[in-house]
Structure 1
Amino acid sequence: MKLTARIERWPVAGAFTIARGAKTHVDVVVAELADRDGVIGRGAGTPIYYHGETAETVLAAVLSQADALAAGLTREDLQARLPRGAARNALDCALWDIAAKQSGQPVWRLAGLAEPAPSVTAFTISLADPARMEADARAAAGRPLLKLKLAGEGDRERVAAVRRGAPEARLIVDANEAWTGRDVAAEAEVLKPFGVELIEQPIAHGQDALLDGIDSPIPLAADESCQDRADLDRCVGRYQAINIKLDKCGGLTEALALATAAEAMGLEVMVGCMLSTSLGIAPAFLLADQARWIDLDGALLLAADRDMAMSIDRGCLMPPAPALWG
């Protein structure tokens, strides 16, 4: 197969703000594989900053596999040739996509999964002052599930403001490591009256031992602290859930194995994403049936999406069109 790849820049609608800063655009790397009959498979990866990735390093890693792909590289071979991360994700998803198109079977069937159905996805309320977050929540109040970005100081006021703005919505929160050094159980207790049902990554990854003995009244989910199956052992007993992102773990192949292993270890699954277009969201959507929480709004936060974009109806993300992916 012949490989081509490129970097694309997509503007964010306004700004996407978390505890570590704001983004006004996202760079994604698109990999395309073409066989001799002109069948094309595509995959996309968003660089993971805490892996030290940039669009340029991801593109170089993707292109480094051109000769191997021309010689018949398989998905299984790819797992050993590239580490977890956005480059392997882009290529792994492109290999799934071309296999589906060559066989005339959708990826979900090739992978032995249930046929994708419309699924409620979280919609992110970016970090801001309480008044702004309340206004943003009111504008999104028709969505059934909202995800709030928190920062540590002033989080109770932010969550209270969002609850005023969207009194009927389910709420999950993402501390993005900002509760490091804080009493996690006490912080969670303060948020419990507002109906928060999940707290993502309260402390810095690598410092997970700080959660030993913590009895949080709200389940905790590992995001940065759980990249792939190698991280599961240190999550058990500290977190109640993990957030699976294809860019973190390195593609749909590892994501499927990670979801199965997490379930066997008693961990709930959340499926999430980086900022990305619908091409990056489509493969992750196949995990929705295995997840308790779905957070696949990465393309909804962009100023524009690619052609054949995935759509949302009353807070439910619709399955991707095969012409987009899979």
Structure 2
Amino acid sequence: MPLQLEIARESWPIAGSFTISRGSKTSADVVVVTLRDGAHVGRGECVPYPRYNETVPQVAEALEAARAAIEAGCTREQVPNLAAPHAAQNALDCALWDLEAKRSGQPTWQLAGLSEPRPLVTAFTLSLDTPEAMAEAAAKSAHRPLLKLKLGRDGDAERLRLIRKAAPKSRLIVDANEGWQPDQLTPLFAVCAEVGVELVEQPLPAGNDDALKGLQRAVTICADESAHDRAGLDALVGKYDAINIKLDKTGGLTEALALARAAQSKGLKVMTGCMLATSLAMAPALLVAQFASVVDLDGPLLLKEDRNPGIRFDGSVMYPAPPDLWG
């Protein structure tokens, strides 16, 4: 069925700033795909990420270049051949899922053959800062059950100890964003175990993580920048214990669901994460999160404001998306 494609670039201010080992940002810059068939509307949102050589203009241009094929009535199976950047594939794939749900009157979880999604606890991210500033932020968020700590600079051991003291009851996970070196692993993993960190994301640079092979550790190590789609899954076995599945890396919900199943079949745990984005990006990710042992979909909580309607958050508990948002 012929479709009408709309491509929108949007910028959503962050509440304050967001800092990781690679730098800081003050807005979430997204691309939204809207598909109309005259009676129904489907939408999908993506975050082009410079770490993967993707930009907002590049993604918008890739979708524009594929306009004729998309408007001719493309299917989800055709998406990987239509738009090269994975972020572009994600927005298009999720818009097609949403459109099919609207056309059929069935929620996406039924269309995907999944169980009805349940509310989940998401991590709440503390931006990288000085040890003292991160401890202060942890104290303000100590009521939250799961905190994610952005690390990857000198002083991480001190950060961990001060944060644990400031938030003694919260579960802790860590994201080093490729910021550690092989000779730091053993001492930093020891501090992680000391303060009760449950999981560490991407301690070493992707492509330079062989030091993880056979390394004894008391904490789960999760691939993020090293994990994209099923094609690279075998290379992670033996280095990592888990993978972080993000739809902007997989190229959409279709591949993300397949990756989650494939990872579990190889004995890898699943974490579901996100880029900084609105509830429109979190909605399909919540379906993948039903497979996950750790959920990190707090993007809307870090923005000054979210879409209306958006996903309902009760503290750190997030609820399935309302149908008029997505799916």
TM normalised by structure 2 equals 0.97
1:193 is matched by which residue type in structure 2? E
Q: Deviations over 1:82-131 (max 9, x none)?
A: 33511000000000000000000000110011111110000001111111
The 1-side partners of 2:111 and 2:301 are apart by: 28
Q: What corresponds to 1:33 in structure 2? A: 35
1:25-53 alpha-carbon deviations (Å, 9 max, x no partner): 1210000000032x110000000212211
> Mean Cα displacement is larger for which, 155-164 or 239-248?
155-164
1:322 is matched with which residue?
323
Aligned partner letter, 1:22: S
Local SS of the residue matching 2:281: helix
One-letter amino acid matched to 1:8: E
Distance 1:161 1:83 in 2: 43
Identity of aligned residues (%): 52
1:248 alignment counterpart: 249
Q: What is the CA–CA distance in structure 2 between the aligned matches of 1:175 and 1:314, rounded to whole Å? A: 25
Contact 2:59–2:85 (CA<8 Å) still a contact in 1? no
Instruction: Specify the alignment match of 1:304 in structure 2.
Output: 305
Aligned residues between the structures: 325
Deviation at 1:180, TM superposition (A): 2.4
**Which residue number in structure 2 is paired with residue 7 of structure 1?**
9
2-structure distance, mates of 1:63, 1:215: 48
| Aligned partner of residue 9 in structure 1, secondary structure | strand
User: TM-score normalised to the size of structure 1?
Assistant: 0.97
SS in structure 2 at match of 1:286: helix
- Contact conserved, 2:62 with 2:84, CA < 8 A, in 1? no
Deviations 1:281-303 (A, max 9, x none): 11101112100000000111111
Deviation at 1:233, TM superposition (A): 1.0
1:218 aligned partner, one-letter code: V
Q: Is residue 284 of structure 1 aligned with residue 256 of structure 2? A: no
Instruction: Give the root-mean-square deviation of aligned CA atoms.
Output: 1.1
1: CA distance, partners of 2:286 / 2:84: 23
Aligned counterpart, 1:158: 159
Q: Which residue of 2 aligns with 1:46?
A: 47
Distance across 2 between alignment mates of 1:155 and 1:42: 40
Task: State whether structure 2 residue 138 is matched by structure 1 residue 137.
Answer: yes
Deviation (angstroms), 1:185? 2.7
Contact 2:122/2:146 (<8 A) preserved: yes
Residues 246-285 of structure 1 deviation map (CA, whole Å, 9 limit, x = unaligned)? 0011000000010011001110000000000110111101
1:167 partner letter: P
Deviation at 1:207, TM superposition (A): 0.8
Give runs of ≥4 in structure 1 deviating > 4 Å: none
Unpaired runs of at least 5, structure 2: none
Q: Is the 8 A contact 1:244 1:255 kept in 2?
A: yes
> Residue type matched to 1:36 in 2?
G
Instruction: Give the SS at the match of 1:299.
Output: helix
C-alpha distance in 2 between matches for 1:24 and 1:281: 19
